[in-house]
Amino acid sequence: MQASALTAWELFCRRGDRLLFGSLDIWVEAGGAVHLVGPNGIGKSSLLQILAGLRPSSPSDRLGAADVKRGSVAWQGRLGLLDAHCTLDEVLPLENALAFWARIDGAARSDQSAAMVRMGLSSLTDVPVRYLSTGQRKRAGFARLLIQNADHWLLDEPLNGLDIDGVALVEELIAERRAAGGAIVVASHQPIALPDAQAIDLRDHPW
Ligand SMILES: Nc1ncnc2c1ncn2[C@@H]1O[C@H](COP(=O)(O)OP(=O)(O)OP(=O)(O)O)[C@@H](O)[C@H]1O
């Protein structure tokens, strides 16, 4: 049996007064992948935030006080999240903005340089983050993720804004991470190469 990377049980999600999904279990083995699908607003980004520990699973209080489920998420290893929020300082040149996180992650200068080269950002070292295009921002987000060197990745619309080469590159990075034993959970409306991924459609998990 494969080693578990992610075990999540009884996840429920309420946003405001909307009950989005409930009683969701996810199990991902090392090297495995999940493709989250479903229409706009169903709760894919919210689920990624729950899996990242940034948002609690909502208590399932509709089931009655005697049987309230609160959900649990357990990872074996470190995880990195790439979503729509740019964690890079908009004012700083790209190299310095990435260096801020590289220091926090304890990454070597050479790791940062390698990540920038890999993501095709070498010519943008002096450009302030606020001037980056949509696709360049996405590439910078992946550079940050590579520098972080987390075991597992949570990716929210990782292909948005990328050109054809960028899409191929991200698919290659995902395949490499999986080959290294990382688990990947992706929310993507765009087709994405994820061989043998579990598809989870949140419409199948109504609260
Ligand atoms: N602060 C908030 N308060 C209440 N509801 C919110 C809040 N932020 C988002 N929502 C709602 O939560 C729901 C889920 O949003 P989420 O971003 O998780 O959906 P999604 O499936 O990722 O959508 P998309 O495919 O458009 O990216 C949406 O219906 C949205 O309107």
Q: How far, in Å, is the centroid of ligand 1 from the Cα of 56? A: 15
Helix (H) or strand (E) holding 72: strand 72-75
Share above pLDDT 70 across residues of the chain, in percent, rounded to a whole number: 97
Q: How far, in Å, is the centroid of ligand 1 from the Cα of 114? A: 35
Provide the pLDDT for residue 4. 93
Nearest CA owner, ligand 1 atom 13 = 41
- At 61, the pLDDT band (50, 70, 90 cuts) reads confident
CB 20 within 8 A of CB 66: no
Q: How far, in Å, is the centroid of ligand 1 from the Cα of 42? A: 7
Relative to beta strand 152-156, strand 184-187 is parallel
Provide the pLDDT for residue 86. 80
Provide the pLDDT for residue 67. 75
Residue 6 has pLDDT above 80, yes or no: yes
What integer is the mean pLDDT of 2-25? 93
- At 1, the pLDDT band (50, 70, 90 cuts) reads low
Residue 104 has pLDDT above 70, yes or no: yes
pLDDT 10s digits, 169-203: 999 999 999 999 999 999 999 999 999 999 999 99
**CA–CA distances in Å: residue 203 to residues 10, 19, 138, 186:** 16, 12, 28, 16
Q: How far apart, in whole angstroms, are the C-alpha atoms of residue 71 and residue 13?
A: 10
pLDDT 10s digits, 146-175: 999 999 999 999 999 999 999 999 999 999
Please state the atom number of ligand 1 nearest to the C-alpha of residue 157: 27
Average pLDDT, rounded, for the chain: 95
Residues 6+ away with beta carbon under 8 Å from 49: 55, 83
Residue 206 has pLDDT above 70, yes or no: yes
Nearest CA owner, ligand 1 atom 4 = 16
Q: How far apart, in whole angstroms, are the C-alpha atoms of residue 92 and residue 76?
A: 34
Provide the pLDDT for residue 70. 84
Task: Name the nearest CA neighbour of 130 among 175, 173, 171, 93.
Answer: 93
**CA–CA distances in Å: residue 151 to residues 8, 66, 147, 148, 184:** 17, 38, 12, 9, 9
Residues 6+ away with beta carbon under 8 Å from 95: 112, 116, 125, 126
CB 46 within 8 A of CB 26: no
Provide the pLDDT for residue 5. 97
Nearest CA owner, ligand 1 atom 7 = 15
User: Ligand 1 pocket: which residues have CB below 6 Å?
Assistant: 15-16, 18, 20, 38, 40-46, 187
Nearest CA owner, ligand 1 atom 8 = 15
Among 14, 46, 57, name the best residue to mutate to test ligand 1's pocket (greatest count of ligand atoms within 8 A of Cβ): 46
Nearest CA owner, ligand 1 atom 30 = 41
- At 65, the pLDDT band (50, 70, 90 cuts) reads low
The reported pTM is: 0.95
Provide the pLDDT for residue 59. 86
How are strands ordered across the β-sheet holding 198-201? 79-82, 152-156, 184-187, 33-37, 198-201
pLDDT 10s digits, 19-60: 999 999 999 999 999 999 999 999 999 999 999 999 999 988
